[in-house]
Amino acid sequence: MADLCDFLRRHKRSFPIGLSGKTGMGYILTGGISPLSRSNGLAIDQIIEIKGFWGNGKKFHLSRPNTSKESNLEWKALCGAAIFLGIITKVKLKTQPLRPLISWTANLSFSQLSECINQAESWPNSLSFQWIYGENIFAHAIGEVKNPDHEGLLINLLERLPYTCNRIINKVKDMNSLPNLSLGKNTSNKSNHCEVLGLLGPSWQEENLKILKIIKDLIEIRPNKNCYIASQQLGGLTHLKDIDTSFIHRDATWKPWINGAWEANEKAKKTKTLKWMEECWYNLEFICPGVHLAQIHPHLPWHQKELSSAFREWLPKLQEIKAINDPRNLMPPLIS
């Protein structure tokens, strides 16, 4: 994604990449939630043409349909669930004009995070809020400057956000120039392995403090210092519903993700971390009923549950499409 971003910058264009420039094609194929998605849509919403091979070896070359009719089911399946169905060799993508970005980063306390989330839920779509909660709380707001007047409006909103320390407001040229959403350096001298589970759900509104208290309790019992819960802000994607895709959670406002880490090659610690992740999921499911399959876990017992939460009533049709196009299950399974 960083390479794509660099290439496009030379042509004064941009693409809604995610929080890291390091991700590859999988970012686009699994939905692709960008800090700019609230106004620009998901990465899959930018696909105009898609080319590749189904799991059964047959070639396909599909163009974005104008309507969401029965005959477009293969397109719908490929936009968001392609990794289960075949190998994508080419995509034609829509790009956007390159616009400067305003970046706000700061360290927050628990109650400041609550207040920031509260404010962010009434922001315009050109601004999004992401945060990470582990050893400490770090937050990153990103806004796209549409015109000089708009810049003032964004800064005004960002200046209202509370913070503890290290507040930095910067103007950068593109997504690739943004700081990382991270808790700082891993101080452990042992290498860690991890699993990530992405959830999706609506605005928190009056449930804000209740949810954050649950998260605080979960963080306090995390089995490894590198375990954390973070979140990206979506919302405003419902206007893109007419593009029928496998990302069915168009009304989601937050994508909290659970990062479970353990020391490499420590089986018992891995088991403990996976249990903690399931506990997090269980406790947050009431407000985050959806799943974003940016990471898939066919090797874990919760694969069926993540598939059902990601695709809901669309899953049986998706399984039918897979049975036709990848009958030998060469691609990752859509059933556990």
Ligand X SMILES: Cc1cc2nc3c(=O)[nH]c(=O)nc-3n(C[C@H](O)[C@H](O)[C@H](O)COP(=O)(O)OP(=O)(O)OC[C@H]3O[C@@H](n4cnc5c(N)ncnc54)[C@H](O)[C@@H]3O)c2cc1C
Total binding residues toward ligand X, as defined by CB under 6 A: 22
Q: CB under 6 A: which stretch of 18-26, 156-164, 201-209, 233-241 binds ligand X?
A: 18-26
State yes or no: residue 18 binds ligand X (CB under 6 A).
yes
Closest separation in Å from C-beta 331 to ligand X? 7
33 binds ligand X (CB under 6 A): yes
Q: What minimum distance in Å lies between the beta carbon of 15 and ligand X? A: 13
User: Which residue's CB is nearer to ligand X, number 4 or number 108?
Assistant: 4
Report in angstroms the alpha-carbon separations of 148 from 14, 144, 151, 153, 234.
Answer: 19, 11, 5, 9, 24
**Which of 154, 230, 252, 294 is close enough to bind ligand X by CB under 6 A?**
294
127's CB contacts (< 8 A; 6+ apart) are 38, 120, 141, 142, 143, 144, 154, 157, 158
- Name which of 296, 335, 318, 260 is nearest 30 in CA terms: 296
Is there binding between residue 31 and ligand X (CB under 6 A)? yes
Nearest-approach distance from CB 1 to ligand X, in angstroms: 8
How far is CA 17 from each of CA 59, 110, 142, 222, 244, rounded to the nearest angstrom? 27, 29, 13, 30, 21
Q: Which residue is nearest to ligand X (CB)?
A: 26
Binding flag, residue 93, ligand X (CB under 6 A): no
Residue number with CB closer to ligand X (32 or 202): 32
Residue in 41, 38, 42, 40 with CA at minimum distance from that of residue 141: 38
The pair phi, psi for residue 75, each rounded to 5°, is -65, -45
Stretch of 12-20, 102-110, 166-174, 313-321 lying at the interface with ligand X (CB under 6 A): 12-20
CB 272 within 8 A of CB 260: no
Between 29 and 261, CB nearer to ligand X: 29
Residue 256 is a binding residue for ligand X (CB under 6 A): no
Question: Is residue 20 within the footprint of ligand X (CB under 6 A)?
Answer: yes
When asked if residue 175 is in the footprint of ligand X (CB under 6 A), the reply is: no
Please name the residue that has the structure tokens 């997504």. Answer: 175
26 forms part of the interface with ligand X (CB under 6 A): yes
215 binds ligand X (CB under 6 A): no
Q: Does 21 interact with ligand X (rule: CB under 6 A)? A: no
Nearest one of 7, 14, 64 to 37, comparing CA atoms: 14
- The distance of closest approach from Cβ of residue 314 to ligand X in the complex, given in angstroms and rounded to an integer, is 19
> Which residues, other chains included, contact 168 with Cβ-Cβ below 8 Å and sequence gap of 6+?
103, 104, 105, 106
CA atoms within 13 A on the CB side of 62: 21
Does residue 27 touch ligand X according to CB under 6 A? yes
- Least Cβ distance, residue 37 to ligand X (angstroms): 8
Which member of 81, 88, 161, 199 binds ligand X (CB under 6 A)?
A: 88
Site for ligand X in 145-174 (CB under 6 A): none
Per residue in 171-192, is it b (16+ CB within 10 Å) or e — as a string?
Answer: eeebbbebeebebeeeeeeeeb
Q: Are 27 and 91 in contact (CB under 8 A)?
A: no
Q: Which is nearer to ligand X, 145 or 230 (CB)?
A: 230
- 128 within 8 A of 141, measured Cβ to Cβ: yes
The SS3 of residue 219 is: helix
What stretches of 264-302 adopt beta strand conformation (E)?
290-292
Q: Is 184 in the site for ligand X (CB under 6 A)?
A: no
Q: How far is the CB of 268 from ligand X (least distance, A)?
A: 25
By CB under 6 A, tell whether 29 contacts ligand X: yes
Dist. CA 134–CA 260, nearest whole Å: 11
**Positions that interact with ligand X (CB under 6 A):** 18-20, 22-27, 29-33, 82-83, 87-88, 294-296, 332
